Amino acid sequence: MRVILANPRGFCAGVNMAVDSLELALQAFGAPVYVYHEIVHNKYVVETFRQKGAVFVNHLEEVPLGANLLFSAHGVSPEIRRVARERKINAIDATCPLVTKVHLEAIKYAREGYTIFLIGHEGHDEVIGTMGEAPEAMILVESEADVDRLTLPTDAKVAYLTQTTLSVDDANRIITRLRGKFVNLVNPPKEDICYATQNRQEAVRILSAEAEVCLVLGSQNSSNSQRLRELALERGNQAYLIDGVADLDPNWFTNVSSVLVTAGASAPEKVVQEVIDWLVERYSATVEVRTTREESVHFPLPKVLRSLAKREG
């Protein structure tokens, strides 16, 4: 068996920053450190931190007054920040800067009187946070069919933003439909879909042609990981989204000679390597690392943790 190991894969700069922030907060403040929603959408990462004393909550009422709380990489709404202040919570903001960019764009367009179409998935933590910035001005659009159902005048003052972890192809189809319907549609000068999401999709697009099976490391609630699996399926692969070795089924590899392995932006390298080891041991696989694009993006820690990081270093 030949295993093609995609690069880039796994943690993006935003996830690295969020994970490092929680690690440092636990070291500095001790357990428990509360986290609003999952730090990132990955089962392995969440469970690892739970064992270290992180407590993941869905409602701020679950956080004791004055406790230490981390906002996850996906961002939160202004209402959540207000409640945290009210409860005298020590909030550490580990929102990915690329998500913050979308929040700021939402505020800007709302102030200028635009109706904003947010292209994204209902219920996703990032979408909830972004829509919270200007709920009266925003309409969630999940599909081309949603565009067709919009009843605003064709010359309405409208803008669009996107969730950072979408499929580039899906987003472009929706954007094209919006442009065909609204003559004055505007958008930010720089697109919202994050560099890492695009790079991982590009790698699957290029490398899947050489493989029969594609394994995507990532959790079921990870939007960007789901998109990688869907992209591989669209390109003719058998494709599986797995959390780790325990999810592998030997039946997937019957008469298979080439496997592409990649990982969503919230999946740790440890689980990738465990899958590679399993394939090597079971099928005497040879592993070929294929780099489609170099990444060098780095995001700084939240200000409150930077001095702590220097002391630890």
Which DSSP symbol is given to 60?
A: G
Question: From CA 139, how far away is CA 146, in angstroms rounded?
Answer: 10
**88 contacts 53 by C-beta, under 8 angstroms:** no
Question: From CA 224, how far away is CA 221, in angstroms rounded?
Answer: 9
The dihedral over CA atoms of 252, 253, 254, 257, expressed in degrees to the nearest 10, equals 140
Distance of CA 157 to CAs 39, 58, 112, 115, 172, Å?
Answer: 36, 35, 10, 6, 20
Could you write out the three-class secondary structure of 83-140?
A: HHHHCCCEEEECCCHHHHHHHHHHHHHHHCCCEEEEECCCCCHHHHHHHCCCCCCEEE
Q: Is 86 a known active-site residue?
A: no
Question: From CA 163, how far away is CA 131, in angstroms rounded?
Answer: 10
CB-based contacts of 74: which residues, under 8 Å, 6+ apart? Answer: 37, 41, 95, 96, 99, 124, 125, 126, 129
CB-based contacts of 99: which residues, under 8 Å, 6+ apart? Answer: 14, 73, 74, 75, 126, 129, 130, 164
Q: Which is the catalytic residue, given 38, 126, 212, 230?
A: 126
Report the relative pairing of strands 115-119 and 158-162 from DSSP bridges: parallel
Question: From CA 153, how far away is CA 166, in angstroms rounded?
Answer: 27
| Active-site annotation, residues | 126
